[in-house]
Amino acid sequence: MPPLPPTSTPPAPGGAAPRTVDPLFLGLPLRALADAALTRARELGVDHADFRLERVRSASWRLRDARPAGTSDSVQLGFAVRVLLDGAWGFAAGVDLTPDAAARVAEQAVAVARLSGGISRAAGSKERVELAAEPVHPDVTWVSAYDVNPFEVPDAEKTALLAGWSSRLLAAEGVSHVQATLLTVQENKFYADTAGTVTTQQRIRLHPELEATSVDGRTGAFESMRTLAPPVGRGFEYLTGTGWDWEAELAELPVLLAEKMRAPSVEAGRYDLVIDPSNLWLTIHESIGHATELDRALGYEAAYAGTSFATFDKLGSLRYGSELMHVTGDRTAEHGLSTVGYDDEGVAAQSWDLVKDGVLVGYQLDRAMAALKGLGRSNGCAFADSPAHVPVQRMANVSLQPAADGPSTEGLFADVENGLYIVGDRSWSIDMQRYNFQFTGQRAYAIRNGELAGQVKDFAYQATTTDFWGSMTAVGGPQTYVLGGAFNCGKAQPGQVAAVSHGCPSALFRNVNVLNTQQEAGH
């Protein structure tokens, strides 16, 4: 196998200076290790082999009442070789960054493929893994959209910012405690395969969060409320004015928390719900995002959080929701947590429909799943969360699209006589087929005759997935659209964790069952 070509420099958008890949990562022997591993795999007769080297740095800061409560800073560094031989996968990983070690890991991966293939054939299985075709992407570099790498910001500056915000909240009347956290990740990946694809990537993501708690010293009653700022694929500029209005949120949080302390419990019953993107993103994640992973729909993923009611025989016919429902899978959304240039199988990032006009029309795929069901090209959903783990089919940025001429959130209120406006995510529960669920939120407001009428608490909305999305009668416009998300989506065994975003507008749902959680807890 000829030596791999050198990495190219990413083009500068609009003539600006390009965001560059960390020189520490580029200084590793990426090319030599990949060349050694892929050459040895090819000598051993594989049908396909890929090499992936990763350096993942994760750091966090925690403050309790404006005082440091803990920090962490860790690095994962290693490489993996995956091979396909006679229709069976083989995988092995290593940490010794020498060509000889890379060749040995390739040999181990081939041995695993031979063993697993032999066991499968002995058991009478005729299933063979095949990969959907993908264009070759030789020598490409991709860097996520950010301005300031948080790892280049002094730790003291991060701590001081969190402490200042915490002190500001603690000074407000009624705030008893404040917890502040900041999570940051720099993920570098180098990928090469026997087809000739070579990718070098760098992703930055972070998640800042503050939670204020109020305690009634007389009764012992307490309530808490978190900031709504979502985790993002941005840099440190997110904390200093780009992408979120921290001043406004920190100013209103104590006022909202005090109102929540005084709020009455919700009366259980049927309500029209206007759901804010800060809450609806999680419902999308659980009831659509996981349900449209094809490995779940086919039953290949079952032991970790179940399968899916959206089975393959329903593709093109399942009425998922109302005709207003347009949901996309997207690996290209700017600042999305699941946004990449190329996935861990060398597939270029794409955007596609999952639900169109309320009907299930697509799934999230990796190359093996796409080939298995004859769906053509993979849509780039293979991901491994560390160099020690095999890539598995993982979630894209799954998002509900706004209506081009849709109303504001306040415009949605106008059409509600008796309802609730639900803001912020909190707890949730969903069954193993992603069908029966209930969700709570940070806060909820009564809606009376088109106007907000104060907060209520102790609420949860409950439905089946198709009934809930079928009850959606209005979708907000682009001005209401927000990209929410989480760092901690779990899947697979051994377990892997991935970060993923979900965008959505505000939306109106009719006649949804609402529980009083205090009454339910007392049963």
User: Is 13's pLDDT higher than 70?
Assistant: no
**Which residue type sits at 229?**
A
| Res 523: pLDDT | 55
More confident residue, 231 or 521: 231
Cross-strand pairs, 441: 425
CB atoms within 10 A of CB 377: 17
Give the integer Cα–Cα distance in Å for 391 and 371: 16
Q: How confident is the model at residue 521 (pLDDT cuts 50, 70, 90)?
A: low
User: Is 1's pLDDT higher than 70?
Assistant: no
Q: How confident is the model at residue 18 (pLDDT cuts 50, 70, 90)?
A: low
Mean pLDDT of the chain: 94
User: Is 130's pLDDT higher than 80?
Assistant: yes
> Would you say domain 13-262 falls under CATH 3.30.1490.190?
no
Could you report the per-residue pLDDT of 162-173, keeping only the tens digit for each? 999 999 999 999
User: Is 14's pLDDT higher than 90?
Assistant: no
* Residue 395: partners with Cβ closer than 8 Å, 6 or more residues away: 285, 289, 290, 293, 338, 364, 381, 489, 498, 500
| Res 6: pLDDT | 32
| Res 23: pLDDT | 96
- The secondary structure of residue 479, as a DSSP letter, is G
User: Is 3's pLDDT higher than 90?
Assistant: no
pTM, 2 dp: 0.95
* Residue 152: partners with Cβ closer than 8 Å, 6 or more residues away: none
| Res 242: pLDDT | 87
* Domain segments of the chain as ranges: 13-262, 269-522
Could you report the per-residue pLDDT of 209-230, keeping only the tens digit for each? 999 999 998 998 999 999 999 9
User: Is 7's pLDDT higher than 70?
Assistant: no
Give the integer Cα–Cα distance in Å for 467 and 354: 18
